Amino acid sequence: MAALTLLGCVVRKQPSWLHKIIHSPLFVSLLNCIKNDTDVPVVMSSVLIITTLLPIVPSSVGQYLQDIFEGFSRLSSWKLKPPAIVPEVHILHLQVAVYSLFHRLYGMYPCNFLSYLRSNYGKDNSAEFNQIIL
């Protein structure tokens, strides 16, 4: 958590070398956090860092879009089924972070993101889509 806090401070300062983070194992670790971790403060920090990085390096993120979409889908499903024994306030804060990620993805990659949502939440899962995404 301390490392994520430090990274968040660095990302908010936007140094000139920030684009190099995307090509480092650090970014892959952030993606793994949103795709696998269940510690809500860690996941929330990772989501916010990724959300902040997206407009800074939009062309470099292209190869990781599918992983970001999968992380978004996983975390948005926590609205219906949160991990065991997580305080409600943590889930509410995470929902705000996922909401900001949704807006960033939809604003920057609308065609890719809508295509992912259609394929992931097709006609078979429309009730789940309405409860989670809407």
Residue 58 resides in a domain: no
Residues of the chain above pLDDT 90, percent: 38
Q: Give yes or no for residue 129 having a pLDDT over 90.
A: no
pLDDT at 125 over 70: no
Q: The tokens of 121 are what?
A: 């939440």
Are the CB atoms for 69 and 76 separated by under 8 Å? no
CA separation for the pair 117, 134 (Å, rounded)? 12
Q: Tell me whether residue 57 is in a domain.
A: no
Kindly tell me if the per-residue pLDDT of 15 is higher than 80. Answer: yes
Q: Is 69 a residue whose pLDDT tops 80?
A: yes
What is the tens place of the pLDDT at every residue in 84-116? 788 888 888 888 999 999 999 999 999 999 898
Residues 6+ apart with CB under 8 A from 17: none
Alpha carbon distance 102, 104 (integer Å): 5
Q: Which residue type does 62 have?
A: G
pLDDT of 25 over the 80 cut: yes
Q: What is the pLDDT of residue 124?
A: 67
The total domain count for the chain is 1
* More confidently predicted of 77 and 67: 67
User: Does a structural domain hold residue 11?
Assistant: no
* Residue 14: inside a domain: no
Its domain, for residue 70, covers 20-30+40-48+64-134
pLDDT at 105: 93
